[in-house]
Structure 1
Amino acid sequence: MGAHISIPMYQRAVPQRYRLVGQRCLKCGKVNFPPKAVCKYCNAGFEFEEVTLSGRGTVYSYTIIAGGGAPPEFAEQAHCQGSYPVVVVELEEGPRVIAQLVDPPPAGITIGMPVRAVFRKIYEEEGVIRYGFKFRPA
């Protein structure tokens, strides 16, 4: 079994997973995503304002996950679909996030490629479908 995320823990992360809600540090002005107790940039800010991220960004890096390298929660997907791409996206607001890429272009993924967040099923655990964001070419 993979990394277990309890239903209460998952529900606490719904704003980030469903609406891409981050926080802007009132000390340094940088955007933290996912939200933190202390700003990960200045390590001094602990007051924040909520900010909904646009979901637009560019591919900073990527890899292809093959069936044997898939985390257990994605083993079924890897079995049904084979390998799948995972990207590190630099959002236009600054944070970098990791997510699957859906509908990759036939010509291949490129660094700097514009992408946009889309709301999708991530996996199912304990009979609950876990939704969240993935990215697709913009």
Structure 2
Amino acid sequence: MGAHISIPMYQRAVKQRYRLVGLKCSNCGQIIFPPKAGCKSCGALDNFTEVQLSGRGKIYSYTVIAGAGAPPEFSEEAAYRGAYPVVLVELEEGPRIIAQLTEPVPAEIKIGMPVEMVLRQIYTEEDVIRYGYKFKVLEGEK
């Protein structure tokens, strides 16, 4: 059993979860992802426009999660794969986001490796498959 996310809450996050849609602050130009109620740069509470993020970036940091350290919703994956990498990606537009790295995982993950967002299965809850973004290392960069 994984972390419960209600259907309405899940549906509200579809734009960010499937298409990497963020917000751009019209006051200072800061790109906000995932979307928040206010701009952390200038404090504006409204005046945002939606912006489509490219899904491209570089590995800023990473860790490898082993079975015992996996959150409950990823226990099935941890049992199947053993350990799996989770990366902090700095997107071309500036925001940093955390996601799993897809297979095939390079033998050696390096800070600065270029990556690209892909849509993949994240986990299953109550027989419902939850999809979202993961990142893959760009070809020729492994």
Same-fold status (TM-score > 0.5): yes
AA matched with 2:67: G
1:8-63 alpha-carbon deviations (Å, 9 max, x no partner): 11111000010000010001101000111111222225211110100000000000
Partner of 2:21: 21
AA matched with 1:86: V
Give unmatched runs, 5+ long, in structure 2.
none
The answer (yes or no) to whether the contact 1:21–1:52 under 8 Å persists in 2 is yes
Cα separation, 1, equivalents of 2:126 and 2:24:
34
The answer (yes or no) to whether the contact 1:118–1:136 under 8 Å persists in 2 is yes
| Count, aligned residues | 137
Partner of 1:87: 87
Partner of 1:33: 33
Aligned ranges 1:38-117 → 2 under 5 Å: 38-102=38-102, 103-106=104-107, 108-117=108-117
Moved over 4 A (4+): none
**Secondary structure of the residue that 1:18 maps to in structure 2?**
helix
Scaled by the length of structure 2, the TM-score of the pair is 0.92
Cα separation, 1, equivalents of 2:28 and 2:3:
33
**Secondary structure of the residue that 2:89 maps to in structure 1?**
strand
Give unmatched runs, 5+ long, in structure 1.
none
With 34-43 and 7-16 compared, the bigger mean Cα shift is at: 34-43
1:6, distance to aligned residue in structure 2 (A): 1.0
Partner of 2:119: 119
Scaled by the length of structure 1, the TM-score of the pair is 0.95
**Secondary structure of the residue that 2:88 maps to in structure 1?**
strand
